[in-house]
Chain A
Amino acid sequence: MHPILFIVFLPLAAALIAGLGGPWIGKTAAKLITTGALFAGALLSWPIFFEYIAGNGQPMVVPVLDWIHSGTMTVDWALRVDSLTAVMLVVVTTVSSLVHLYSWGYMEEDPGQARFFAYLSLFSFAMLMLVTADSLIQMFFGWEGVGLASYLLIGFWYYKPSANAAALKAFVVNRVGDFGFSLGIFGTFLVFGTVSIPAILGAAPGMAGSTIGFAGMRVDTMTLLCLLLFVGAMGKSAQLPLHTWLPDAMEGPTPVSALIHAATMVTAGVFMVCRLSPMFEAAPIAMNVVTWVGAITCIFAATIGCAQNDIKRVIAYSTCSQLGYMFFAAGVGAYGAAMFHLFTHAFFKALLFLGAGSVIHAMHHEQDMRYYGALRKEIPITFWVMVIGTLAITGVGLPGLGFAGFWSKDAIIESAWASGSVAGTMAFWLGVLAALLTSFYSWRLIFLTFYGDARWAASEHIQHALHREHDDPGEEHGDSAHDPRPVPTGTGGYHPHESPLTILVPIALLALGALAAGQLFHNIFVDAERAPEFWRQSIAFSQHLAHAAHEAPLWVKLSPTIVMLIGLWIAWNNYIRRPGAADAFVGYFPGVYRFVANKWYFDELYDVIFVRPALWLGRLFWRGGDEGTIDRFGPHGFAYAVGIGNRIAYRFQSGYLYSYALVMLLGLIGAASWAIWWAQ
């Protein structure tokens, strides 16, 4: 048996045992089984990855079971392994196993632990099915499976209305994406006569330039298919305008945010575009759209990240923005760079989230950074790993030596410039600008949390802790108020404690990844000579673009570093040197601040143009359509007419309308029998 079978199906088995058997086997057994399954998966995945790095791995498909056979449409359950899958395998199993371990500490007081671990393992299974898919429909299975797990985990604390609302929103917005994905699969089957990914990719170049009818229009075939599929990717990867669910998804427990809403699930859209890259290569217009959407999301989310006070929401918008980088990399044809950033981002973003979780743990479930400050000395290990994560995301490094984000983000920015297209050049400038904002909001987070004066006393959570009221572990709060007033300082006598080892060990391991993932692996992902040997045919790697990116002018290569330093300086100036400067800025430009802090009012807009009209139409169709029109002129009108007749025949009426009708029915059948016999 191929190890991939164990990697994929052990988490499923563990999820079923922990989920269904939880009440009987107890929470410790459930936690052991699920965590064990994921660690086994991780130990099996890394050798596969190294095999492909060494060039010994061949693309292969492990069949499992027949699935849907309908005429020429055949889909089987099968697991595909190639270089691209191998990358995703290590990302998913590594982050997932560390998050499982982390949850031992983080969820220690929660009564629903067996359920939590079962959901986590179920998610890992679905994600692994997604990345090993050999057909579009199995990819869709994984796609929807991770959506379900995400829904269940966002709503894990199901007694909180805000968690339920966020879970519902995540599922529905993703379904809007799936609407496009489904139509894309239908169209792909119509054009290629198959849903097998290798077969489609083989035939895609031949379809370039063909046209097809769609909803009354005649359009370029490959552009249509790629754009429909990309709508699915936009939903899953929270790209504008389908991004609104991701920040709300922070209602879920923090380990979930790290695993699903940072490292793995949200990158599924990027993975899909890379997996189908030969299709996108045949659709230049679709590539332009991908570039624009990625670049605009990248800068848009970064602006919002600068104005959030909730530590998790800052990181959530940061994720959204980093996904934008990956998309515009894919859009300009630098699929290797997109996958590279996906790979490094998984480590440093999971690190940042888990580090934030450690801070939240220490601060008794307080999530608002305005009530943090001066935590550097109290929780030093958390502080240092968060700094490593920040150095990684802001891309600190010198030529030849750097943190993970330095390698991957620079590769993307250089590729965008090297692509030479209008969209690519725009993406380059927007990407550089977003790098400045990334540096600003990331350092702002560090400075607000770990430096300055302690502002803990004003926090309700801390007050609860001080008065020995035991908080519910589910009491993670979003920042609903955007009140710019300064918060009074003082510790209130509270002493934050460093987190237990189960929390610190996973963070430390991820910190290793954030330190070294770029340094160690940049060659195989993006190097013009080395990378084609690694990727082989699994993505449409452009050697030409990789060369051009390598030979980009010095100012292009330096620009991310320069803006990173500028962002750092602004953050330092506003939050360390002159702590009142940020508030003063908000005072000067209240409109700008409100617009950005309220997330550009997307939620309000969608409420007005989608949610309310849908409910209004539903009521209209129900009251006005069904009851007011169809029933009124249909059966009720008939009943009224019969009623008039009844008054005449009142004496003959038995009083029970239904028995009366029954006699009519029997009579009808009798008449029918006679009539058919007669017609012979």
Chain B
Amino acid sequence: MSSLPLLTILIAVPLIAGALCLFVRDEGARWIALIGTLIAFAISIYLWVAFDPNGAQWQFVEKVPIGGGVSWAMGIDGIALMLIQLTAFLMPICILASWRSIQSRVPEYMAVFMLMETLMLGVFTAQDLFLFYVFFEGGLIPMYLIIGIWGGVERIKASYKFFLYTFLGSVLMLIAMIYMVGTAGTTSIPALMAYDFPVEAQKWLWLAFLASFAVKLPMWPVHTWLPDAHVQAPTAGSVILAGVLLKLGGYGFIRFSLPMFPEASYIFIPFIFALSGIAVVYTSLVALVQRDMKKLIAYSSVAHMAFVTFGLFAMNRQGIEGAMIVMLSHGLVSGALFLVVGVIYDRMHTREIAVYGGLSNNMPGYALLFMLFSMASVGLPGTSGFVGEFLALMGTYQASTWGAIAGTTGIILSACYMLWLYWRICFGEARTAEAAAMPDLSMREWWVLGPIALAVLWMGIYPESFIRPMRNDVGRLMTRLEHVAPAGDSQLKLAGPQLKTIDAQDHGAHH
């Protein structure tokens, strides 16, 4: 393995680029940001290639003590690696998407975005509890600024709501972390992942972490900040919010809740499944009646994230791997859908579904990509959405048939709201003259959406590239969960002498 501190370089590159942005004019800041994010992306690709799926759990490890028992500890496993890919892939796309739509305070905007990338990558690379917390909570600040400064009309209300929710979760998580460090005597995340906390304490710790992760993910009923935040955020802000920030919740579950508190996780499975089941049905129905495109997609995000919690807490291989693919896929697809909304928002400056229509006529390229992403969102096989959802629900079925039934209704409801949206935007006749006059995608917009489209198809047709690096890490997590994994309610019983009678009664009842 390379002796270069690659992970530190990875997170330093955007930070330096961001600092440079502050010293140049608008156009210069754009180019610096683009180049900075592309370099970070190149490094992340190198990590992907160099990562040995059959090697040690933690690779590219760095550790420099800072003092007070805290160290600059970095290292990634396959799960973190894939989320780093997602982040580094989406960032240059966000910069391109903001190229013309952001016109005020461009250097500051780019600098904040770069800071955001640093902090997000930091979350996935940190191996020290203290570092993790700083990155995890610090990541909110740039998001908060992006919504608060470059957002829409009601940005103050939205950023306030966003803050309030996440703040409450953070306080509880912080208290839990302090207790953990005090009890286990270490701030090393790998060490904590192997530490067995007493079951009674686990419950409280688990709940405290849930308060933070459930808001981030978000789970029903603490999701109401998300639609407002999305609606007010600029396009690129929404992409990062949906693409990366929401994944912090799922990553938290997989890194903390499950391996550190397995018994508590087991105890709370019914609770999580109930919330997830409600989320799928409830938010899908709410998405159905939205008139604002961004709100519709935001609500659909909540429904999709419920597949993540279903899959993770099914505690079997299909469930966990499925949940990870849902996270990656949703990062791409919902990011792309927000970009798709952004393309027409840039032209018409409204998100009202009712003013569009008939875009297939004047924007055929746009209609094609929108169709692809809609289909990925409804989980059509051959796209990334299918692989994740299907595996996650397959895992859920093994843990709870009720859970799988509730979750699978999502495939009906998602088709309803996405295709109805598509109909109202792209089919029919244009409802306004302005909508009929919009030009098709520009070259820059093709560069923004095209790569995501290819990634969505790649993940749908050959997901092995994405599952392989995570396989052993999911295996390690399952070893940790082995003694608590739910047996499920299926309980197959092969035909035996005593069951024959039950069978006979069944037959009797039917004749």
The answer to whether A and B interact is yes
Across the interface, which residues of A come within 8 angstroms of B177, CB to CB? 672, 676
Across the interface, which residues of B come within 8 angstroms of A186, CB to CB? 393-394, 397-398, 404
Cα distance A614–B281 in the bound complex, in angstroms: 10
Q: How many residues of chain B are within 8 Å of chain A by beta carbon?
A: 103
Cα distance A614–B495 in the bound complex, in angstroms: 42
Chain B: CB-nearest residue to A613: B285
* Complex contact A665–B463 (CB within 8 A): no
Shortest B142–chain A CB gap in Å is 11
* Complex contact A148–B495 (CB within 8 A): no
Shortest A200–chain B CB gap in Å is 14
Chain A: CB-nearest residue to B165: A635
Across the interface, which residues of A come within 8 angstroms of B290, CB to CB? 622
* Complex contact B462–A677 (CB within 8 A): no
Q: What does the 1/0 interface line of B37-80 toward A look like (CB < 8 Å)?
A: 00000000000000000000000000000001110000000000
Interface segment, one of B5-13, B329-337, B348-356, B406-414: B406-414
**A:44-90 near B, CB below 8 Å:** 65-73, 77
Please tell me if B114 contacts chain A, counting CB pairs below 8 Å. no
* Complex contact B462–A178 (CB within 8 A): no
Please tell me if B191 contacts chain A, counting CB pairs below 8 Å. no
* Complex contact A672–B492 (CB within 8 A): no
* Complex contact B412–A176 (CB within 8 A): yes
* Complex contact B495–A69 (CB within 8 A): no
Q: What does the 1/0 interface line of A375-401 toward B look like (CB < 8 Å)?
A: 000000000000000000000000000
Please tell me if B164 contacts chain A, counting CB pairs below 8 Å. yes
* Complex contact A668–B492 (CB within 8 A): no
* Complex contact A658–B182 (CB within 8 A): no
* Complex contact B492–A212 (CB within 8 A): yes
Across the interface, which residues of A come within 8 angstroms of B144, CB to CB? 658, 661-662, 665
* Complex contact A676–B411 (CB within 8 A): no
* Complex contact A615–B491 (CB within 8 A): no
Specify which of B134, B178, B495 lies most central, judged by the most chain A CB atoms within 10 Å of its CB: B495
Chain A: CB-nearest residue to B175: A675
Cα distance A672–B387 in the bound complex, in angstroms: 39
Across the interface, which residues of A come within 8 angstroms of B224, CB to CB? 626-627, 630-631, 634-635
B129 interface neighbour in A137, A148, A211, A676, Cβ under 8 Å: A676
Chain B: CB-nearest residue to A157: B427
Please tell me if B31 contacts chain A, counting CB pairs below 8 Å. no
Chain B: CB-nearest residue to A186: B397
* Complex contact B491–A212 (CB within 8 A): yes
* Complex contact B391–A68 (CB within 8 A): yes
Chain A: CB-nearest residue to B397: A186
Shortest A117–chain B CB gap in Å is 16
Please tell me if B438 contacts chain A, counting CB pairs below 8 Å. no
Interface segment, one of A164-172, A301-309, A517-525, A577-585: A164-172
* Complex contact B416–A679 (CB within 8 A): no
Shortest A535–chain B CB gap in Å is 28
* Complex contact B286–A621 (CB within 8 A): yes
Shortest A146–chain B CB gap in Å is 11
Across the interface, which residues of A come within 8 angstroms of B148, CB to CB? 658-659, 662
* Complex contact A164–B492 (CB within 8 A): no
Q: What does the 1/0 interface line of A603-641 toward B look like (CB < 8 Å)?
A: 000000000001101110110011100110011001100
* Complex contact B390–A639 (CB within 8 A): no
**B:180-234 near A, CB below 8 Å:** 181-182, 185, 187, 221-222, 224-225, 227
Across the interface, which residues of A come within 8 angstroms of B321, CB to CB? 70-71
* Complex contact A664–B464 (CB within 8 A): no
* Complex contact B156–A676 (CB within 8 A): no
* Complex contact A680–B492 (CB within 8 A): no
Cα distance A212–B140 in the bound complex, in angstroms: 47
* Complex contact B464–A69 (CB within 8 A): yes
* Complex contact A668–B462 (CB within 8 A): no
Please tell me if B502 contacts chain A, counting CB pairs below 8 Å. yes
Across the interface, which residues of B come within 8 angstroms of A9, CB to CB? none
Across the interface, which residues of B come within 8 angstroms of A661, CB to CB? 144, 159-160, 163-164, 167
Please tell me if B249 contacts chain A, counting CB pairs below 8 Å. no
**B:456-505 near A, CB below 8 Å:** 461-464, 467, 488-495, 499-500, 502-503
* Complex contact B289–A618 (CB within 8 A): yes
B428 interface neighbour in A161, A664, A679, Cβ under 8 Å: A161
* Interface CB pairs A-B, < 8 A, 13: A68-B464, A70-B318, A77-B461, A140-B381, A158-B360, A159-B358, A164-B427, A175-B415, A186-B393, A191-B490, A208-B495, A615-B288, A664-B163
Q: Considering the complex of A and B, which 10 residue pairs feature the smallest CB-CB distances, nearest first? A: A209-B495, A71-B317, A186-B397, A618-B289, A618-B285, A141-B381, A680-B69, A658-B148, A158-B427, A679-B181
